[in-house]
Structures are given as C-alpha cells and as structure tokens.
Chain A
Amino acid sequence: MADGVKSPPNGAGLRFKVRAPREFYGGLALIGVAIVAIWASGDLPGMHGFAFGPGTAPRLFAGLLALVGALVALSGLIFDGPPIDSFAIRGPAWVMLGILAFAGMIRGVHLSFMTIPPLGLIPSTFAAFMISIFGSSEMRWVESLIAAVAMTAFCVALFVYLLQLPFQLWPWY
C-alpha cells in the first residue's frame, strides 16, 4: 500500500481521472504525513495491559489521518473541483530567505559550508527587512532603506527599551 501512495503525484500511472486535484493531491500528501508519523513512532512501546504506551496515541491518530486522507483523495476522484492555484515563487522565496537570515544572524550559526558569527539584533533586523522586501515586485530602494532603518529603530525601542528583553544589539556588544 505504501508503494502506491509514494508514487509521484503527476498521475502518470493512474487509471482514474483526477477530477478535483486540490482534494486528490492534498489527500495523498496527508497519507504521506501519516506514514512518516507511523514510521517515526514505530519504535515506541504501545499498549501494555490497559495502559496506553507513548506510541499508542500517535499511531492511533496517524492511522486515522491516513484513513481520512484516503477519503479526501478518493473524493477528488469522484467529485469535480477547481484546479490547484499556481504557487508563487518570488514572494515565498524572499520572505523565507529573510526569516532564515534573521534566524541565522541573531545568534550566529555553524553550517557545513559556512559559519555566521552572532551579529546581534540590529544587523539581523535590518537584513531581514531588506531581504524580505524583495518579495514584492513594487520594491523601491530609497524608501525601502528609510523604512528598514525606521523599523529597526522601532523594534529596538519596543523590545529592548520598553519591554526590557535581553538582546545583543551589535556584533561587538
């Protein structure tokens, strides 16, 4: 059963017509999540006597999720539905990059191919703003830089001075 589910979701080998792609592929993805969950909780002890083990509930709910996922996918074969909207690349990519930049810079990070030293709040906030702003096609340089500086100042004032949260502000301080 697992093999049929993991087949690539382009419908190449399927005999059925996919009528509602949102439901069909959504359901398949849920089944995939359920299988991963069952596999990941497979080594946990299950029921002993009347008591639930740590693995009982995850496997129970993962099983139910697989079942409902299958029903959702099945409904995608039976009923007609709208096609899947195209996924935008630009917006999500820049937004994610901005968030990851913040996460990497604030405390520093060691990756296999690069090391970022802890840079502190001010550079991280400024960088996250300037990177994520590229997600919009209407970006303008001057106003963006001004807004980034203003927002950084606002955040420092709010989080550091008003709420007194302990932040490292600069790479050296």
Chain B
Amino acid sequence: MSELLANLALGFSVAAHPYNIGFCLLGALVGTLVGVLPGIGTVATVAMLLPITFGLPPVGALIMLAGIYYGAQYGGSTTSVLVNIPGEAGSVVTCLDGHQMAKQGRAGAALAIAAIGSFFAGCVATVLVAALGTPLTSLALLFGPAEYFALMVLGLIFAVVLAKGSVLNAIAMILLGLLLSMIGSDLETGAGRMTFDIAELSDGIGFSNVAMGIFGFAEIIRNLEMSQESRDIVKGKIKGLMPTRQDLIDASGAIARGTVLGSLLGILPGGGAVVSSFAAYTFEKRISKHPERFGRGAIEGVAAPEAANNAAAQTSFIPLLTLGIPPNAVMALMVGAMTIHGIVPGPQVMTKQPELFWGMVASMWLGNLMLIIINLPLVGVWVSLLRVPYRLLYPSIIVFCCIGIYSINNSPTDVVISAIFGLVGYWLTKHDFEPAPLVLAFVLGPLMEENLRRAMLIARGDATVFITRPISGTLIALAAGLLVVAALPMIRRRRDEVFVE
C-alpha cells in the first residue's frame, strides 16, 4: 500500500512538472479540437496527432498522447450529444439518450454528466492501474515466447470477435496486417523481404503511414461521398450547463456501476472500451425501474456508458504497460509512438523507467481533470467549430496530415505511402472489411513473428509447444473458444443486434 502511494507520488511529481502539465493540457485541448469534428473518431484523431508529439522528450510525448486520447474521447461524446454523430463505435450509445437530452434543451446537463462520470471513472481506474501494475508485471516474468505468442493470438481473436460483420473478413484483415508488417528487413538476418527492390521499403512501412492513410484519408474520402444534409449540424442553443441536484442523484448509481463494468472489461485484450459502453447501457436499462425512459433522454443512459468507456480506456493501459501488448487500435498507436521514442513497451518499462510508467499513470488522472476544467467552459467553442462547413474542414485535415507524416522522417515517400493506404482503406470499407483488426495486427506483427520464431527454436521445431505449456495452452484454448462462439451464426446475429441498437 505504501509502495503504491510512493509510486503514485513519484508519478505525480513527474506529471505535475509544469512542462508536462502543459503538454497534457495542450494534448487534451487539441485532442478535443480534432475529436469533436464529426466523422473523426478517437483512433483517427490519435493517428493524425501522433506526429506532433515526435519532437518532444519521451515522457512529455506520451503524456501529451494520453491527453490527446482523453480529449478525443471527450470530443467524441460532445459530437454525439450535440449533433447525434458518433465519432466511433464507443460513443454510439451516448447518442441514444444524450442527443435526446440535447433536444430537450438539456445538452449542458448531458455534457456535464458525461464529464463528471468520466472523471469519476478515471479516478477509480487510475488507482486500479497503479495497484494492478506491479502484480501483473511479475506475471509477465512467467511469460516465455510461446506464452507471448499465445496472448497476442488471443488479443487478435478478440479484435475479430468485436469487429462488425463477418468473422472471416476480420480474420482476413488480421492476416493482411501481419503480412504487411513483414515488409522490410528481416529481424534476424537483415534480408530485405517483399521490398520489390524499392529502397524506401527496406525499413518497412511506417506504422503512422498505415494508420493515417487507412483511418484519416480513407475517412475523408468516404465522408465526401455523403450528402451535405447528413453532415449538417443541428443549430441549437446550449442553456444551463450545470446538472440539477436531482440529475446528480439519478446519475450517481449509474456512474458507479459503469465504472466497475468498464474497469473489468478494459483489462481484457481486444478493445474493451467499445463493449463496455454497450454493456453498461444494456445493464442500466435492464436494472432500471423505468426502462421505457431509455432512448428518451434518461440521464443514466449518458452517465453509465461514458463512465464505462473512460474506465475501460484507462485500464486498457494495463496490458500495454505490463505485457507490452496493445489491446486495441488506440493502444497500438501508443506502441508505435513508444517505439519511435526508443521505448519497448512491456514489463521492463516499469522497472527501468519508473518515472515514465508512473508519470503516465498520474497524467491519466491529470488528463481527466483537464477535461473537466477546460472543456466545460469551452463547450460553446467546440459547438462553433462544428459550424465550419465540411468543404473547408477536410482540406485542412488533409494538409495537416500531410505535414504530420512528412515531418516524422522528412520523407515525401511516406506521404505517398499513406495516400496509397487511404485508397486501400476506401476499398476495404466498400467490401465490408473493417480496418481496425488490420492495424492491430500490423503493430503486433513483428512481435508475433519474433516470439513465434523463438518459441519454435526453443521447442526444437515442435509446434505443439503452444498447446502443451499450461499458460499458453489456456490462452490458445480461450482464443479458440472465442472464435467458435463468434463464428456460430446464431450468436453472430445477436452480436449484430447489439451493435445496431
């Protein structure tokens, strides 16, 4: 316990450094700024803003990224409430009751409850991350190459299960991502692989190029297809920012339950944040005495999913920081950022760079606080941003992305590569292939191959090692079980319902 406090104290001493607070604030601000734009989700926001953190020192960069992440998420809920456009799957449920509240003139209360719920969930989850970090790191020591490989398989299968649409399509995207990650030099021999004798490909395809192309550019091209009306924004006035006493009482239970649910689901690899908000909403509706209020502006319907979403976002740092395995696409982006700063995510981060680890944990909490402080007064500003017509917005985003990608390596080729991935992403969505599993697999690819090769070498070529070792065998069995469940058509139909609701 005292160790926990000492660790948190170290974290806050790092995070509270004026520079780092500044980075966190800037991150949360820019994150909200971009996240609030309709049609741009959390992943796209983080992908677009990744390059601006490259010039900073590692600790500052990661703290700023954490700020961007929370800002983007909060921005997403702002658009959900005000204009009924969810930036991403996670905030779809917030739209249901949040926008209804906005229509009744209670947008301020909805936004405030979302922020308060997120903040409470953030506080609890921060303590949880700090408490669980150390024990889980010792668990990581039990992990050999076979176990790491098995865990990554499990994570990828989770991504498959959570993807919309066909399981086969999602598996295909995983394999495509793995294959793309193998372009470039071989880790052991240095032999160029699948480079087609193009010099720029010998270092492999940069992660940010893929992410920016598939999420950023493809998103823009898709949005351009939509008619103006579907993008146009309800112009309402926001009156009365603060929720009433009754609102707070109504929402408090929902916030607490959402926090617990979200914290638990977030630890699981494979995108807990999305499921958790759906789960929290469904749960609230089920236990409510007046379920008919849901969908008509029930404040619990905003509070629970927002709290769950944020708690899960926080606890999803646990598998990343302790095992080095990103549980979802945003965390995958974080790994990309860490690698660029020369940090290999995993258990050694906590022991070798405690100030980085605990600083990040503390900055999560600070990020949440920033959101409450800066965003509530700024709601009016975000709304006016939504009035900028899309025809001016999208070229700005493109230019911003271009400079961002170019500045990573001062390489025009990177810009061209991400343009190509923009077209690829556009094509993929036309054929019902979801890009998120591809990006996750692309990040995990090198790690997976390395552990696969090592495990096979240690086992002297015996592939059954993944099943016979207890931890690895359990993980593989879990993954197989999940896959079977997801593939059963009946359950698939129910899953679609959950995501349509």
Counting CB contacts under 8 A, is A22 at the interface? yes
Instruction: Give A21's nearest chain B residue, CB to CB.
Output: B431
A151 touches B193 (CB 8 A): no
Contact with A along B434-454 (1 / 0, CB 8 A): 000000000000000100110
Which chain A positions have C-beta within 8 A of B399?
Answer: 102, 125, 128-129, 132, 151-152, 155
Which chain A positions have C-beta within 8 A of B182?
Answer: 57-58, 61
Which chain B positions have C-beta within 8 A of A136?
Answer: 224, 390-391, 394
B402 touches A50 (CB 8 A): no
Given known A-B contacts A44-B191, A71-B168, A159 and B178 have beta carbons under 8 A apart:
no
Q: Which of B125-133, B246-254, B338-346, B422-430 contacts A (4 or more CB under 8 A)?
A: B422-430
Which chain B positions have C-beta within 8 A of A30?
Answer: 172, 176
Alpha-carbon distance A159/B171, docked complex (angstroms): 39
A37 touches B412 (CB 8 A): no
Interface residues of B in 201-235 (CB under 8 A from A): 217, 220-221, 224-225, 228
A50 touches B460 (CB 8 A): yes
Chain B interface residues toward A at CB < 8 A:
52, 55, 166, 168-169, 171-172, 175-176, 178-179, 182, 186, 188-189, 191, 193-194, 196, 217, 220-221, 224-225, 228, 389-392, 394-396, 398-400, 402-403, 406-407, 410, 412-413, 415-416, 418-419, 422-423, 426-427, 430-433, 449, 452-453, 456-457, 460-461
A22 touches B402 (CB 8 A): no
A-B contact pairs, 30 of them (CB 8 A): A26-B432, A27-B172, A30-B172, A49-B461, A51-B453, A52-B452, A55-B193, A68-B175, A84-B431, A90-B224, A92-B422, A95-B398, A96-B419, A98-B398, A99-B217, A100-B419, A103-B402, A103-B406, A106-B415, A107-B410, A124-B402, A128-B395, A128-B398, A133-B392, A135-B224, A135-B394, A139-B391, A143-B392, A151-B396, A152-B399
Counting CB contacts under 8 A, is A72 at the interface? yes
Contact with B along A137-149 (1 / 0, CB 8 A): 0111001100110
A91 touches B225 (CB 8 A): yes
A54 touches B186 (CB 8 A): yes
Chain A interface residues toward B at CB < 8 A:
22-23, 25-27, 29-30, 33-34, 37, 40-41, 44-45, 49-55, 57-58, 61-62, 64-65, 68-69, 71-72, 75, 84-85, 87-88, 90-92, 95-96, 98-100, 102-104, 106-107, 109, 121, 124-125, 128-130, 132-133, 135-136, 138-140, 143-144, 147-148, 151-152, 155, 158-159, 163-167
Which chain B positions have C-beta within 8 A of A129?
Answer: 395-396, 398-399
Given known A-B contacts A44-B191, A151-B399, A102 and B430 have beta carbons under 8 A apart:
no
- The smallest beta-carbon distance between A1 and chain B, in angstroms, is 18
Interface pairs A-B: 4 shortest CB-CB? A91-B224, A26-B431, A54-B186, A50-B461
- The smallest beta-carbon distance between B12 and chain A, in angstroms, is 26
A133 touches B391 (CB 8 A): yes
- The smallest beta-carbon distance between B194 and chain A, in angstroms, is 4
Q: A44-B193, A75-B168 are in contact. List 16 more A-B contacts (CB 8 A).
A: A33-B176, A51-B457, A54-B186, A61-B182, A87-B426, A95-B221, A99-B402, A100-B419, A102-B402, A102-B415, A103-B412, A121-B403, A128-B402, A133-B395, A151-B400, A165-B55
Which of B172, B188, B422 has the most chain A CB atoms inside 10 A of its CB? Answer: B172
Which chain A positions have C-beta within 8 A of B390?
Answer: 136
B419 touches A103 (CB 8 A): yes
Given known A-B contacts A51-B453, A68-B175, A136-B224, A144 and B392 have beta carbons under 8 A apart:
yes
- The smallest beta-carbon distance between B190 and chain A, in angstroms, is 9
B432 touches A106 (CB 8 A): no
A64 touches B175 (CB 8 A): yes
- The smallest beta-carbon distance between B438 and chain A, in angstroms, is 11
- The smallest beta-carbon distance between B323 and chain A, in angstroms, is 22
For B176, give its contact among A25, A50, A65 (CB under 8 Å): A65
- The smallest beta-carbon distance between B27 and chain A, in angstroms, is 13
- The smallest beta-carbon distance between A6 and chain B, in angstroms, is 18
